[in-house]
Amino acid sequence: MCGAITLFIFLAPPVWFHPQPQWFRDQPRIPHASQITSLPGYGEAVFWIEPELVSTIPEPQRLDKLGRELTARTGKKQVLTRIEPIYDSEREIKGYMAYSRP
C-alpha cells in the first residue's frame, strides 16, 4: 500500500496537485470594482461602503455625497441618515455601514 501511494505521488501529473484557477472560477480582485454593496435591512436600506471611498470625502460632506453616489448606482433616490465605521480587532476601519431611507 505504501508503495502504491509513493508511486502515485511521484508519477501523477503535477496539474493534479496544482489546479488551475479557472477550475474554481476564481477571478482576480479588481481594486475598487465594487466599493458599495447593498445589504439586507429592515425598514431602511443598508449599504457596505469600502473605506477608500469614504476617506476621500470630507467629513461634513459625506452624507450628501455618498447619498448622491448611492442614488446614481441604485437608480433610486437615496438619502443617507447615518454612516457608522466598522472596526476590526485592532481598531482599524474595515468599512462603513451606511443607512438610507428611500
Is the pLDDT score of 15 beyond 80?
Answer: no
Give the structural domain span for 91: 33-102
Please check whether residue 10 lies inside any domain of the structure.
no
Please check whether residue 23 lies inside any domain of the structure.
no
Please check whether residue 7 lies inside any domain of the structure.
no
CB 76 within 8 A of CB 45: no
Percent of the chain having pLDDT more than 70? 79
Please check whether residue 15 lies inside any domain of the structure.
no
Distance CA 84, CA 94 (A): 11
Lowest-confidence range among 5-9, 42-46, 51-55, 88-92? Answer: 42-46
C-alpha cell at 70: 448611492
Count of structural domains within the chain:
1
